[in-house]
Structure 1
Amino acid sequence: MIAGSLGASLTNVAAGSPPNPGPADFDLPPIFGDVTKPMVLLTLSAVLIFAVTFAMARRAAVVPGRLQFAGEFVYGAVRNGIARDNIGSEHFLRFVPYLFSLFLFVLVNNYYGLVPFLQFPSFSRAGMAYGLAALTWLLYNGVGIWKHGFLGYLKHTCIPNGVRGVMLVVIVPLEFFSNILVRPVTLALRLFANMFAGHLLLILFALGGEYLLFHAEASPLNIFGGVMSFVMFFGISVLELLVMFLQAYVFTLLTAMYIGGAVADEH
């Protein structure tokens, strides 16, 4: 059912052994040359997003059709509910294109995990998530330096307003470590860990159900376990619909918050 993203676990089931899902199932072989499936999915998502948004805007009208309405709804949610509320009315507009594209990019790549034949969330590979977080890190630090200057930004981000004296010896290293070094790590780790864990559960229940029903000894207990495994598979798939959306929203929201903090007048 999800064979397109499996390695060792599928081999075990085919050989009549119980599935043993793990990190090896995410180490996909190249499709051609050095190009892997996650690379293809990332490229495909960019093409899909461009095509859909172009179709939404191509025949824009005062009374929108369903496609235009859907696009305006998502754009408005990102523009007003994420960008303006967290960056502020003075600076938010210049960051809306990035945040809108970021939200759609993460959302599409997350939902690949539930699309038949694709069935692999791109950001379940750590390198993909950390690469995206690095772009956010460069952006919010870059705009902070643009707004305050290099030394001014270091002071702005490392010295909270009102902190004086000996407390600076403790606070400054903690603030630098938290705001400059740790943020991109936690931003990527949250996305990667949720996509990795969710997909691993889907592998476990799908292949576990297949093994109990078609490869294990036929017994009432195994049949019941196999049926319940498939029930759990579909239940977790429904839950993953929500988790995948929330992770796209949280990634975009935190990016906006970091940008807002970088361009704010006070820490």
Structure 2
Amino acid sequence: MNQSPHVLAAEFPPGVESFEFGSLIPGLAGTMWETAFTKVTLLVWLSVAILIVLFVSAYRKPQLVPTKGQWMAESVYGLVRDGIAKDIIGPQGARFAPYLTTMFVFILLNNFWGIFPFAQISPNSHIAFPIVLALFTYVLYIAVGVKKKGVGTYIKDSIWVSGAPLWVQPILVPIELFQVILLRPATLAIRLFANMFAGHMILLVFTLGGVALWESANIGLKVVAFGSWGMAIVMTLFELFILILQAYVFTLLTATYLQSSVSSEH
């Protein structure tokens, strides 16, 4: 019999099991498809739907004097295009602005679920989603570099450190190769995952900790419960800042990697 998190909080601290959800489709519990469509999956699809509706409705009938929706969409796109794409990549950055904007908004929406009432879990707190996003970036900057420079030149520019003495290259080349092939996508995924995972865990600790204290027979602990819930509110506001920052950092690093692919310098 499944017990609610509030009941379990009085006996067990939150752990990895707090990130596990059963299927939302009746009849799949206990089968191999139990995790095929969970709460986390639903939140991802909601993010996709919101993203599509936001931009399609904003640009379906653009007006000279923009509506609120058009103004919002244009502001986000302009921020990413001018503040990230062109600023980091250069004049060629404008052609990557649609991808970077989509990436930024999609990550932001998924992160936002972590503090949204009744959702209260970011899909990016599951490592699989940041890995897929990082792989998209990985494939894109590799493809862009190969298309612009050719396979041989791109590999050479990526792993050969110009200006370094020849005798140092045997040491530097494996390091650069490891960085381009594995470290870049890994750090992208792990940074986003770790921040969202930690944020959700902290909110659980203060929220469910307050519940556990409130259920105590000790009057003093009941008073302390309000302090725990107050910290949950403070950390929620802090998490709002973190989730915006992580979406920005992911997009910024993606632009940086794209810049290294289109640039003639290493």
Aligned residue in 1 for 2:33: none
Query: Cα deviations across residues 139-189 of structure 1 (Å, max 9, x unaligned)?
Result: 111111111111111101101221231110111011111122111000010
Give the counterpart letter for 1:60 in structure 2.
Answer: P
Q: Is it true that 1:75 corresponds to 2:84 in the alignment?
A: no
Determine if the alignment matches structure 1 residue 174 to structure 2 residue 170: no
Render the CA deviation track for 1:212-248: whole Å, top value 9, x for unaligned: 11x212322x023201000000000011111000000
Contact 2:111 2:124 in 1 (8 A): yes
8 Å contact from structure 2 (residues 114, 120) kept in 1:
yes
**Alpha-carbon distance in 2 for matches of 1:118, 1:167:** 52
Residue 21 (structure 2) aligned to one of 4, 22, 28: 28
Gaps (5+ residues) in structure 1?
1-5
Q: 1:166, 1:11 → 2: CA distance?
A: 64
1:217 correspondence with 2:223: no
**Alignment correspondent of 1:199:** 200
- Of residues 104-113 and 158-167 in structure 1, the stretch that sits farther from structure 2 once superposed is 158-167
**Is contact 1:110–1:122 with CA below 8 Å preserved after alignment?**
yes
Greater mean alpha carbon deviation, residues 190-199 or residues 114-123: 114-123
Percent identity over paired residues: 38
1:236 is aligned to 235
Matching residue's letter, 2:125: S
- Equivalenced residue count is 256
Once residues 103 and 153 of structure 1 are traced to their aligned partners in structure 2, the CA distance between those partners, rounded to angstroms, is 27
Secondary structure at 2:37 match in 1: coil
State how far apart, in whole Å, the 2-side matches of 1:187 and 1:8 are.
34
- Runs (4+) of structure 1 exceeding 6 A deviation are none
Q: 1:114 corresponds to which residue?
A: 115
For 2:125 and 2:3, locate their aligned partners in 1 and report how far apart those are by CA, in whole Å: 15
Report the equivalent of 2:52.
50
Query: Does the 8 Å CA contact 2:113/2:120 hold for their aligned counterparts?
Result: yes
Q: Name 2:189's counterpart in structure 1.
A: 188
Aligned residue for 2:146? 145
Give the Cα–Cα distance (whole angstroms) in 2 for the partners of residues 77 and 59 of structure 1: 21
Is the CA contact (8 Å cut-off) linking 1:18 and 1:208 kept in structure 2? no
Q: Where do 5+ consecutive residues of structure 2 fail to align? A: 29-35
Residue 40 of structure 1: CA displacement?
A: 1.6
Match of 1:3 in 2: none
State the TM-score, normalized to the length of structure 1: 0.91
TM-score (normalised: structure 2): 0.92
Q: CA deviation at 1:65?
A: 2.6
